[in-house]
Structure 1
Amino acid sequence: MRKRTGDLKLIKELNKTLILDKIRREGPISRAEIAKIMQISATTVTSAVSELIRDSYVYEDGRGTSIGGRRPILLKVNPNTFFLIGIAIDASKLTIAELNLNAQVKLKEVYPLEKNLYDSFSSFVIGVIGNFLERYPDLDYCLGISITTQGIVDSVNGIILYNPKLNIENLHLKSLVERQFNIKTYIDNDTNGDILAEKGFGFYQQSRNLIYVTIGDGVGAGILINDSVFRGFHGGAGEFGHTTIDYNGKPCSCGNKGCLENYVSWKAIHTKILTEINNGTSTVILEKTKGDLMKITPGIFRYALNEGDALSISILDEVAVYLATGLVNIVSLFNPEKIIIGGDLAFDNPYLIKKVNEHLLTHSLKTLTNGFEVVPTSFGSDYDVVGSGALLLHELFNFTLH
């Protein structure tokens, strides 16, 4: 049966993205090596590479070692010809950054989100993007805008379906941004972006089954199963923070009671810190903030932990038990190779990783934790915008198709 023209075009484009990803991962590499590794024809590789060089995604970088005959020409991805805009939105701030094709952050700005902005949220986002783009004289080199946010997101249609922290329902943000700037825009849940970033550019690229848990203003999970992101029926898979651990517990913003998020998020930790300080407990946090309780941030809390502050350690010990208890359920449900922990409370926080590992490995099924570990994010303080950028870079490189 003869293939339709559309089928052939799709196969050609898929081959090109896979070849581009191979060059990104293993360059400098020759055309012959690509054909051999990918088990495709030399003609297919040559054609795709010619287009990639023409479009400035790839360049020739000298010659390799000869194994008989002429020395092969080597190829590398050119990461800096094009750029993309990554935007990470949580309950308290909007972070916007320029990234290159290696997911490296070249420029970053952070804008606080005040409650009085919620009613005009889309206008605020568009204003920030517009101001950020003013510095670029030629937007033809901008591949797109990637936006991640908490809550339930329809990534196909670019709709924020439900974000209780920002009081958002059914916001068609993708179409609003594209209409304003005429730049292709991608939108997804923050942890889906985070798991794609780890798979494409992080330390755990060889793993095919990963869970990414973020801990900050909220708690969520990104799920990678057999190299595919699992989003669920309505795009709401991974709402780990809204799994209930106490039906008689504290009311949650989602309308339920006793959600895990109420015990391990920054809001829960911040409340505990203020309560203890008001009860007269001494802490490094007071010294660091010079007594100004308004200046207590996740960064200050992490600093206090690394200084061995007794109050901070006591609070985190309790948080780690709650978190690990939830993660035991994830291990039993998904049997991942690793659980990656990121977010404002988790990066640069080896004590958290250590305590969670201790509890989880003690209380999980031994057969499921053989070779398993909880690990920190690969991207430090840039985890959020690298996760945002990964939405677009995943489309460009198709890096989960291995």
Structure 2
Amino acid sequence: VAGIIRQWLEAYSVTLDQLLGIGIGSVGPLDRQLGMILEPAAFPAPGWKHVPIVQLLKEKLGVPVTLENGANTAVLAEYIAAGRRPDNMLYCINAAGLRCGVMNNGRLMLNQTGDINSFGHMIIDAGGRLCDCGNRGCLNRYISIPAIIDEASRRLNAGASSLLLRDWHGDPVKISLDSIIQAYLAVDSLAREILLESAAYFGIGIANMVNLVHPQHVILGGRLVYDAPGYYEKAVEMAQKYIYHNLKAKVSIGQGLLQANAAVIGAAMMVFHSFF
């Protein structure tokens, strides 16, 4: 990581003396006091358990380093980018799992563990699909990318007809989100059924969170929101259906201005804010 940062500095002709600091938007759980990434449930590379990332980067680069959950850095960035913004905002990104960040009265709401993944483990179907956390019916098992791929594989194995059969050949590893989105865009009935079902559950989960934290504005993010037309609309439809009636007129739902760049921009903002 330090080597990549040095490459970026060189590419943009920036010296370490000119660098204000380094911001990290990471998956959780985190130990903020120790500056450590603990045991992330969904991380694309092995070996990232109990990593004192803040100390390591400080030692190698000699600049201040901040660490926060990526969903929190994302909601901070979207909050500031919105200009005339509401003080209470909920940011939800659906990817390997559901992660959420909350602005409450203009302040970032931090939980004690730095683990934002727990939002995806709200139970929406008691006795439903088995989750890797050991419970059944967790929201993640209906909306996350791994859950969508698992469901596509299960239905193909049960004999469903789909364009995905070209890639499958009995091997679920060959199914990817790319192939599912491509089939969805080609109006494949199986892909559309699976993704729109996921969107419906996503919307139900959003409604549950709105009913709990009472935001004025909700931002939905993730590749499915941006790349699968109709997914976002279905999620919003279901959220609006199940939001408590006294809140419906007081909350708006939209997509982020910064999209995939929100977490990175927010991490940089946290460095700046740490000086004030």
For the aligned pair, the TM-score class normalised by the smaller chain equals 0.7 to 0.9
Say whether the 8 Å CA contact 1:286–1:293 is kept in structure 2: no
Say whether the 8 Å CA contact 1:164–1:253 is kept in structure 2: no
**Residue of structure 1 in register with 2:94 after alignment:** 215
TM-score where L is the length of structure 1: 0.59
Higher relative contact order (CA 8 A, sep 6+): 2
**Residue of structure 2 in register with 1:107 after alignment:** none
Shift of 1:260: 1.4
Going from structure 1 to structure 2, the CA distance change for 1:388 and 1:305 (only over 3 Å counts) comes to farther
Shift of 1:305: 3.6
After TM superposition, list the pairs within 5 Å mapping 1:351-366 onto structure 2: 351-366=230-245
After TM superposition, list the pairs within 5 Å mapping 1:366-377 onto structure 2: 366-377=245-256
Going from structure 1 to structure 2, the CA distance change for 1:200 and 1:318 (only over 3 Å counts) comes to same
| Residues 144-186 of structure 1, C-alpha deviations (whole Å, 9 max, x = no match) | 2221222222335422233133475433211111111112212
**1:154 equivalenced with 2:23 (yes/no):** no
**1:328 equivalenced with 2:207 (yes/no):** yes
State which of 196, 205, 230 in structure 2 corresponds to 1:317.
Answer: 196
**CA RMSD across the alignment:** 3.0
**Residue of structure 2 in register with 1:174 after alignment:** 54
Give distance in 2, aligned partners of 1:127 and 1:148: 18
Ranges of 4+ aligned residues in structure 1 off by more than 6 Å: 289-293
State which of 143, 146, 150 in structure 2 corresponds to 1:267.
Answer: 146
Partner SS, residue 367 of structure 1: coil
Give distance in 1, aligned partners of 2:187 and 2:271: 40
After TM superposition, list the pairs within 5 Å mapping 1:15-164 onto structure 2: 125-137=1-13, 138-164=15-41
After TM superposition, list the pairs within 5 Å mapping 1:225-374 onto structure 2: 225-236=104-115, 239-278=118-157, 279-283=159-163, 296-374=175-253
Larger C-alpha radius of gyration, 1 or 2? Answer: 1
Say whether the 8 Å CA contact 2:28–2:114 is kept in structure 1: no
Say whether the 8 Å CA contact 1:338–1:372 is kept in structure 2: yes
**Residue of structure 2 in register with 1:58 after alignment:** none
Shift of 1:199: 0.8
Say whether the 8 Å CA contact 2:28–2:117 is kept in structure 1: no
Give distance in 1, aligned partners of 2:131 and 2:91: 22
Give distance in 2, aligned partners of 1:306 and 1:171: 40
Structure 2, unaligned runs of 5 or more: none
Give distance in 1, aligned partners of 2:262 and 2:238: 25
The percentage of counterpart residues that share the same residue type is 29
State which of 70, 76, 79 in structure 2 corresponds to 1:199.
Answer: 79
Going from structure 1 to structure 2, the CA distance change for 1:144 and 1:309 (only over 3 Å counts) comes to farther
Shift of 1:357: 1.6
Structure (1 or 2) with the greater strand fraction: 1
| 302-311 vs 205-214, greater mean Cα deviation | 302-311
Say whether the 8 Å CA contact 1:223–1:238 is kept in structure 2: no
| Residues 2-47 of structure 1, C-alpha deviations (whole Å, 9 max, x = no match) | xxxxxxxxxxxxxxxxxxxxxxxxxxxxxxxxxxxxxxxxxxxxxx
Give distance in 2, aligned partners of 1:339 and 1:308: 29
| Residues 280-308 of structure 1, C-alpha deviations (whole Å, 9 max, x = no match) | 5223x567x79897565434444444443
Say whether the 8 Å CA contact 2:125–2:136 is kept in structure 1: yes
Partner SS, residue 21 of structure 2: strand
Kindly provide the amino acid, as one letter, of the partner of residue 154 in structure 2: T
TM-score where L is the length of structure 2: 0.82
| Residues 265-322 of structure 1, C-alpha deviations (whole Å, 9 max, x = no match) | 0001112223344535223x567x7989756543444444444332222112211222
Say whether the 8 Å CA contact 1:250–1:262 is kept in structure 2: yes
| Residues 184-211 of structure 1, C-alpha deviations (whole Å, 9 max, x = no match) | 212111110110110112x475111111
Say whether the 8 Å CA contact 1:208–1:225 is kept in structure 2: yes
Partner SS, residue 220 of structure 2: strand
Going from structure 1 to structure 2, the CA distance change for 1:194 and 1:326 (only over 3 Å counts) comes to same
Give distance in 1, aligned partners of 2:77 and 2:144: 22
| Residues 65-106 of structure 1, C-alpha deviations (whole Å, 9 max, x = no match) | xxxxxxxxxxxxxxxxxxxxxxxxxxxxxxxxxxxxxxxxxx
**Residue of structure 2 in register with 1:106 after alignment:** none
**Residue of structure 2 in register with 1:114 after alignment:** none
Say whether the 8 Å CA contact 2:27–2:115 is kept in structure 1: no
